[in-house]
Amino acid sequence: MTQLSLNTFADYFRLNSEPDDILSYFGYGYESRSLTLPQTHRQLERLESLKQRLEEILPYVSLTSEMARREFLIAPVLMELIHYTQAKIKVSYSLKVSEQLKGELDYFLQTQNQFLVVEAKNADLQRGFTELAVELIAVKQAEFASYSMLYGAVSMGNIWQFDVLDTQKNKIIQDINLYRVPTDLLELLQIIVGILEA
């Protein structure tokens, strides 16, 4: 990997390498397992309305393009998150930690905690995970704050998968569970709100 020309976070998506090989280059381990994630117990009073709207419009929207998935699936979920958490969201946020850790974060959410969302290009969750993992390492090294866990998700819009960077063990864990939108919208939002409020 030292011989590759990597200019942005998105270049890691294009690498034909195993995640553990890429992460070990940065000194991080890799694990894939079922995660127990934070979850809010608050009443998310507007969620049923969002679910109904999504179920109503999705039969009429072609989701073959990344722009369609961003605008009709990812953006509505993130706008709903703002309502519940008052999170600040930076879209296409530029971050440079080093020559190998730089680029744009798709969605960078901040409350007292932080949460990254990477839109999986070409609807490829596994490569999206690799990009997200490298971005989590960059956020950790940028030292926005001191956290024992940094959370993120890779999303195809209709499918979301969580990842955690454990700063104590220098390990990134990929959740084997997938959350579908709109079917699992309640559980998905309960988790992200729980992460941002923890």
Give the global pTM: 0.92
Residue 40 inside a domain? The answer is no
Q: Give the pLDDT confidence of 69-89 residue by residue, as tens digits.
A: 999 999 999 999 999 999 999
40 contacts 197 by C-beta, under 8 angstroms: yes
Residue 41 inside a domain? The answer is no
Q: DSSP strand E in the chain: where?
A: 29-33, 88-96, 102-110, 114-119, 149-155, 159-166, 171-175, 179-180
CATH code, domain carrying 167: 3.90.1570
Residue 72 inside a domain? The answer is yes
* Structural domains of the chain, count: 1
Residue 1 inside a domain? The answer is no
Residue 107 inside a domain? The answer is yes
* Torsion angles phi and psi, residue 113, rounded to 5: -115, 175
Domain that holds residue 157: 9-34+49-197
Q: Give the pLDDT confidence of 140-178 residue by residue, as tens digits.
A: 999 776 788 999 999 999 999 999 999 999 999 999 999
